[in-house]
């Protein structure tokens, strides 16, 4: 396989290419499964790829390439340059290199010895399950340790490392029953310690017990207090309930005139919020943040930026190309989400009003229309009433933008994977249906 050095040399020699970006990623993936199948998996992959850019009369040509097989670097570059002549869009140029974000993203110990890290984590998980006195049907642990190198014709040359642990387990009660109660646990973090295995398994075991005695949730209007994984699931590949806020800020959609609101406009449309106006910030520079990285996909520096400031659309996630087209500085796209906390303690938000209040701690599923903000969510576990009786089994329905009109955010904050924000969010006047 052609290496990065050979490709860079071929790119510098090429008369067809005006600008270029190259990257090499070496990833080691270790996985273990304990359960019906016992599997130890190790994947080691190196990817060398990049983009070439050509300035043509019709605009800027761009093409991606990936090194694979035994093709010569010069042939790879020539092939990409020919495709770039066909793939022409609006003109733009690479900006001079900016300093990468100082965002450590690797668990050094795990990076040095991934096998030992996965073994230690497996032992910790089995120990936590045993201590919680529950059974499991399957435990799966994986670690991805990556080394990234990025170079551009504008002079950028950077390397960085990252790690990511994933844990999934299913705790069960009454394992021999025809319909045993099951409690899934899904954790994701950059560092093993941040998984908080013991605390999460203990919490899941408590939820398992509560769910076994939970009563069916009656339909009707309600106020909702979102906590726990109902606020954000660390294993979610998108942004869960908050996905519409990110999707509406998409720079490409905005450039094509296809977003619901523009920068400077209220996200609530013509309505005025009666609750606390939401502020959402993307920050990919948080140390060991799940979605933190020093550089974006094409070498652009990752920077924090406001998506929504006090209920007003404030910024777009901007990768390298969209930033150049917009004539703005790139920020590396949407990363970890920071939702600004409010003035009220969780205790005050837990006070019921005229409607019944349901504290929802876990969702069975969440279906969100990123375009409209409409959502439906199955309540896997919630609590209601003065004695916090567990309830389950109905659907929570609403519209995110509408619900945010009456939102109140707790003073206490929490971190759940990519989510940094209030420990509890109160959304009033929603509907539960059967």
Of positions 3, 12, 46, 112, contacts other proteins by CB under 8 A: 46
Nearest distance, CB of residue 269 and other proteins, angstroms: 8
Return the HEC string of 359-413: EEEEEEEEEECCCCCEEEEEEEEEEECCCCEEEECCEEEEEHHHHHCCCEEECCE
Phi, psi of 216 (to 5 degrees): -65, 140
How far CA 387 is from CA of 182, 360, 384, in Å, comes to: 24, 15, 7
Task: Indicate the residue among 334 and 370 with the shorter CB distance to other proteins.
Answer: 370
Instruction: Retrieve residue 160's tokens.
Output: 């960085």
Q: Any contact of residue 99 with other proteins (CB under 8 A)?
A: no
Q: Provide CB contacts within 8 A for 315, sequence distance 6+.
A: 249, 263, 305, 306, 307, 331
Binding footprint of other proteins, residue count (CB under 8 A): 67
Of positions 41, 93, 213, 272, contacts other proteins by CB under 8 A: 41
Evaluate the CA torsion angle 416, 149, 281, 265 in order and state its sign.
negative
Of positions 282, 285, 392, 410, contacts other proteins by CB under 8 A: 392
Binding mask 151-170 for other proteins (x = CB under 8 A): -------------------x
Footprint of other proteins on 199-228 (CB under 8 A): none
Q: Provide CB contacts within 8 A for 121, sequence distance 6+.
A: 141, 143, 165, 167, 192, 195, 197
Q: Any contact of residue 374 with other proteins (CB under 8 A)?
A: yes
Q: Any contact of residue 1 with other proteins (CB under 8 A)?
A: yes
Inter-residue contact 64 to 50 (CB < 8 Å): yes
Footprint of other proteins on 415-434 (CB under 8 A): 433
Task: Indicate the residue among 157 and 206 with the shorter CB distance to other proteins.
Answer: 206
Instruction: Retrieve residue 356's tokens.
Output: 């019944």
Q: Any contact of residue 265 with other proteins (CB under 8 A)?
A: no
Residue ranges binding other proteins (CB under 8 A):
1, 27, 29, 31, 33, 35-47, 49, 62-66, 68-70, 82-83, 86-90, 115, 137-138, 142, 170, 172, 178-180, 182, 184, 256-258, 260, 269, 364-367, 369, 371-372, 374, 376, 378, 380, 392-395, 397, 433
């Amino acid at each position: 396989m052609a290496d990065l050095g050979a490709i860079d040399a071929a790119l510098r020699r090429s008369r067809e290419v005006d600008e270029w970006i190259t990257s090499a990623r070496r990833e080691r993936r270790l996985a273990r499964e304990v359960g019906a199948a016992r599997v130890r998996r190790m994947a080691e992959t190196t990817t060398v790829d990049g983009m070439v850019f050509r300035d043509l009369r019709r605009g800027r040509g761009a093409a991606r390439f990936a090194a694979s097989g035994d093709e010569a670097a010069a042939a790879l570059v020539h092939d990409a340059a020919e495709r770039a002549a066909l793939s022409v869009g609006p003109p733009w140029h690479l900006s001079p290199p900016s300093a990468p974000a100082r965002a450590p993203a690797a668990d050094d110990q795990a990076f040095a010895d991934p096998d030992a890290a996965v073994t230690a984590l497996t032992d910790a998980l089995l120990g936590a399950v045993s201590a919680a006195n529950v059974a499991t049907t399957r435990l799966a642990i994986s670690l991805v340790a990556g080394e990234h190198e990025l170079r551009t014709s504008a002079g950028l040359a950077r390397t960085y490392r990252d790690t990511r642990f994933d844990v999934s387990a299913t705790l069960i009660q009454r394992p021999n029953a025809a319909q045993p109660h099951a409690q899934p646990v899904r954790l994701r973090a950059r560092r093993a310690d941040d998984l908080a295995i013991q605390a999460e398994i203990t919490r899941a075991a408590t939820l398992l017990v509560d769910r076994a005695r939970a009563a069916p949730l009656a339909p009707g209007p309600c106020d909702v207090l979102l906590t726990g994984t109902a606020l954000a699931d660390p294993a979610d590949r998108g942004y869960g309930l908050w996905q519409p806020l990110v999707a509406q800020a998409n720079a490409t959609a905005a450039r094509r005139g296809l977003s619901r609101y523009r920068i400077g406009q209220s996200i609530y449309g013509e309505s005025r919020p009666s609750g606390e106006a939401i502020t959402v910030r993307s920050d990919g520079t948080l140390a060991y943040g799940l979605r933190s990285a020093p550089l974006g996909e094409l070498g652009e520096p990752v920077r924090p930026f406001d998506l929504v400031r006090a209920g007003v659309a404030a910024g777009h996630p901007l990768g390298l190309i969209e930033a150049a087209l917009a004539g703005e500085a790139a920020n590396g796209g949407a990363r970890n989400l920071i939702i600004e906390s409010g003035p009220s303690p969780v205790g005050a938000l837990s006070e019921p009003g005229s409607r019944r209040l349901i504290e929802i701690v876990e969702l069975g599923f969440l279906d969100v229309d990123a375009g409209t903000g409409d959502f439906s969510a199955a309540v896997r576990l919630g609590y209601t009433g003065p004695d916090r009786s567990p309830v389950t089994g109905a659907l929570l329905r609403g519209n995110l933008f509408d619900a945010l009109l009456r939102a109140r955010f707790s003073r206490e904050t929490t971190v759940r994977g990519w989510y940094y924000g209030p420990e509890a969010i109160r959304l009033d006047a929603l509907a539960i249906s059967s």
